[in-house]
């Protein structure tokens, strides 16, 4: 079985211009490498109304248990103005021990590390009896409608059952080994609209200004904290992201006022219970306001992977290779872990994310090599225990 350099693979992946939803050759590269190593590979293309077609890759080595799944994505956000980059964002340049390029941190470097670690592990074990798999999507940075969630549905329909999953997102704030994500907060977006009666500002008795009523309702949503947090989660927070009346005139009372808010919530809530709480607060403060409330259909549910042997094994591997015991965190935004958690326990650990989505995204070459060593050590421990 071939072994590969994780740094060279990261360079090759960066050189594939796989800006969502374009595959760019990245999945084809991984499919070839994994196929040559004996993995059964499946290229899966999915589509949905009003979305782009998206390529994904699923690969599995072995048929036994336990089954460890590695997950990630090869799609990247656009580079923006390439003139502002020090190097071509798709050239994969290494200088002074640093790999530069779009996706270096998020997350082609992480994908390269997990693939290289798995191939090295399997090369040393011709009689391996467990299973190692890869779920690599091209739709994480986009709508996430035709990627991981659909591959998981496809795999479940085939009878695939995973024991655990590592998602190699860039989880570390400053140094490799700082942080492992054992859960994520949920996300709920609401849209509040208050109706009024348009009129001249000089004749307010002939109009009904919706703006003070909207402000009253907004205050009701934020006056009392949603909760005080839990052992592994910070307090839930509601933030208004837009307030608008669509009114360019200074002498007209508008007919409508609108606000958009997003709530990042912990495991004290479900989307259903949180919707009910928002509706209760608005009803109690409405007075005579004529308002409507709608919630976006695509949201995320909070989840937690309990600290247990799986988490402890990865934490030990991280500490052994970096000298740091990672903090067990649930911070940050959403990730594809929100889909995976419905199929098996999942944790996230990858590279340092300080430059992700930025101009001159980069990652230390030594960190890619060390992350590969962490995954290799974990594989030894995981399958020895299994």
The residues that are catalytic are 75, 140
What are the residues whose beta carbons fall under 8 Å from the beta carbon of 284, sequence distance 6 or more?
220
The answer to whether residues 138 and 75 touch, using CB atoms and an 8 Å cutoff, is yes
- Phi, psi (degrees; rounded to nearest 5) at 128: -60, 135
The three state secondary structure string of the chain is CCCCCHHHHHHHHHCCCCECCCCCCHHHHHHHHHHHCCCEEEEEEECCCCCCCEEEEEEEECCCCCEEEEEEECCECCCCCHHHCCCCCCCCCEECCEEECCCHHHHHHHHHHHHHHHHHHHHCCCCCCCEEEEEEECCCCCCCCCCHHHHHHHHHHCCCCCCEEEECCCCECCCCCCEEECEECEEEEEEEEEECECEECCCHHHCECHHHHHHHHHHHHHCCCCCCCCCCCCCCEEEEEEEECCCCCCCEECCEEEEEEEEEECCCCCHHHHHHHHHHHHHHHCCCCEEEEEECCCCECCEECCCCHHHHHHHHHHHHHHCCCCEEECCCCCCCHHHHCCCCCEEECCCECCCCCCCCCEEEHHHHHHHHHHHHHHHHHHHHHC
In the 8-state DSSP scheme, what is residue 205? G
């Amino acid at each position: 079985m071939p072994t590969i350099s994780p740094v060279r693979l990261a360079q090759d992946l960066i050189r594939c211009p796989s800006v969502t939803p374009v595959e760019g050759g990245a999945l084809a590269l991984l499919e070839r490498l994994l196929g040559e190593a004996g993995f059964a590979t499946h290229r899966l293309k999915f589509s949905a109304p009003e979305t782009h077609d998206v390529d994904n890759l699923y690969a599995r080595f072995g048929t036994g248990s336990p089954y460890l799944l590695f997950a990630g994505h090869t799609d990247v956000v656009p580079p923006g103005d390439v003139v502002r980059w020090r190097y071509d964002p798709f050239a994969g340049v290494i200088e002074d021990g640093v790999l530069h390029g779009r996706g270096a941190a998020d997350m082609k470097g992480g994908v390269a590390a997990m693939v290289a670690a798995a191939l090295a592990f399997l090369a040393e074990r011709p009689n391996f009896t467990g299973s190692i798999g890869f779920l690599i999507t091209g739709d994480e940075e986009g709508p996430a409608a035709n990627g991981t969630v659909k591959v998981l549905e496809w795999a479940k329909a085939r009878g695939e059952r995973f024991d655990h999953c590592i998602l190699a997102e860039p989880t570390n704030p400053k140094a490799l080994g700082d942080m492992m994500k054992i859960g994520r907060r949920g996300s709920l977006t609401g849209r509040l609209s208050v109706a009024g009666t348009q009129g001249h500002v000089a004749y307010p008795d002939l109009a009904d200004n919706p703006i003070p009523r909207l402000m009253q309702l907004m205050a009701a949503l934020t006056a009392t904290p949603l909760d005080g947090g839990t052992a592994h989660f910070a307090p839930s927070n509601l933030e208004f992201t837009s307030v608008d009346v669509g009114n360019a005139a200074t002498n007209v009372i508008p007919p409508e006022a609108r606000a958009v808010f997003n709530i990042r919530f912990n495991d004290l809530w479900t989307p259903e219970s949180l919707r009910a709480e928002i509706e209760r607060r608005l009803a109690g403060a409405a007075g005579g306001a004529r308002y409507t409330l709608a919630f976006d259909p695509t949201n995320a549910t909070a989840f937690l992977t309990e600290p247990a042997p799986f988490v402890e094994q990865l934490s030990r591997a991280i500490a052994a290779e970096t000298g740091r015991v990672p903090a067990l965190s649930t911070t940050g935004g959403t990730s594809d872990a929100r889909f995976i958690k419905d199929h098996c326990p999942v944790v996230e650990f990858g590279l340092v994310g300080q430059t992700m989505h930025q101009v001159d995204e980069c990652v230390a070459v030594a960190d890619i090599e060390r992350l590969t060593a962490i995954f290799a050590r974990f594989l030894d421990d995981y399958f020895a225990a299994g």
